[in-house]
Amino acid sequence: MSEKISIGLRGWRFDEDEVFTETGEVRPFDEMSDDTRRRLVRLTAIFSGPCDACWLIHGDENIEECNEAAAVYGEPLNEAVLCDEHEPDFLYWFREEGGAEYAETDEFEEAFHEWFLDGGRAPEGYAGLEHVDTDPRDLPTPDLPDPEEFADEQEQDEEKRIDLRNMEFDRDYPTGGDT
């Protein structure tokens, strides 16, 4: 049975057997699931980047004041990237302030940012998560596509999907054939 592991940043969990071979080598990219590939590619873009909360405080003009990312939550391209100092704020928002309702939605990242900008913070002494770090900064180096090109492909795929929630099922839709 495969163990769940974090790679590079805490938060996103991967099946160890899907990412690594029995000898510890990184599997070829095309042997991984779409979700694993998306997350690994996105990790290469956000790894060593700034914490979202620090960035909201300091902005682009003082980016050097931001702490480096240590954890990531959410879905690729709609995630919260956090440093050790601000991870408890995120966890408090998610657990206690209704953030869980935004899980797996397009509003996830924006909802956290708005809460944080409105002064949302965890109470003093709020416990985050206990983590076991075995070498948290050691990111594997599989042969991955360029993160920007991959993101563009993902956005194009997303645009092709049909949102069934907005369709009227009692209406006749064209089928593309003869009418």
Q: What is the pLDDT of residues 56-98, one digit of tens each?
A: 999 999 999 999 999 999 999 999 999 999 999 999 999 999 9
Q: What is the pLDDT of residues 143-177, one digit of tens each?
A: 666 667 766 665 665 554 444 344 333 444 344 44
pTM of the model: 0.71
Map 98-128 to HEC letters: CHHHHCCCCCHHHHHHHHHHCCCCCCCCCCC
Question: Crossing angle, helix 87-96 and helix 108-117, to 10 degrees?
Answer: 110
Q: Which residues pair with 13 in a beta bridge?
A: none
132 has a pLDDT exceeding 90: no
Instruction: Report the alpha-carbon distance of residue 93 to residue 111 in Å, rounded.
Output: 10
Instruction: Report the alpha-carbon distance of residue 64 to residue 48 in Å, rounded.
Output: 12
Residue 172 confidence (pLDDT): 43
Domain positions in the chain are 4-127+142-154
Residue 2 confidence (pLDDT): 75
Residue 80 confidence (pLDDT): 97
Q: What is the mean pLDDT of residues 89-109?
A: 96
Q: What is the mean pLDDT of residues 46-58?
A: 96
